[in-house]
Amino acid sequence: MRNNLLIFSLAQLFLILIYAVVLIYLHLSPTLESAVYSHYFLRLIPAVLTALVYLIVGRFMNVKGLTDGILVLVLPAVIWGICLAMAYFGGGAEGFVRGAFRSLWRFPADITMLPQMAVVSLLRIKQTTAVYAASAVIPQCLALLVAARGPVTYRRRRDFRRREK
């Protein structure tokens, strides 16, 4: 379990760094910014790449039982939930209406959820508490689906080898 959280944390840190650099460069170049925001396909690419990173991360995770699966799903969501609760109780619901990094109460949530919120803002989805909550759970669900598929595939191959003997 400890390795799963380490793998997920490193992937999240990697995505935070990549998105920070890309978003800074995107907003420093007006021609690139107008090109990205004018074509929906170019705004969809980061969403697909982010989902692929979480799917690849799931391949490295090791889920041996139901408790490992629940912990992979719940622990990062709890961390993001604490950040979101702090933002909600500090700034209220109108704190989520403003853009990213506009409130110090929402700053920890914006930093830890930068990849998800970058995708939400690029796709021009209205930022609400429900969107934040959904984006706090979707990455773990993607990784968990791939991670849970590993033991099932292993058991199927094991049973097939036993039948061949």
Domain boundary assignment for the chain: 2-164
pTM for this predicted structure: 0.78
pLDDT number for residue 164: 79
The secondary structure of 39-77, three-state, reads CHHHHHHHHHHHHHHHHHHHHHCCCCCHHHHHHHHHHHH
Residues 139, 116 contacting (CB under 8 angstroms): yes
pLDDT digits 0-9 by tens, 33-81 = 888 888 888 889 988 999 999 889 888 888 777 777 777 777 777 887 7
Residue at token pair 């853009």 = 99
In the Cβ-directed half-sphere of 163, how many Cα atoms lie within 13 Å?
A: 6
pLDDT number for residue 59: 86
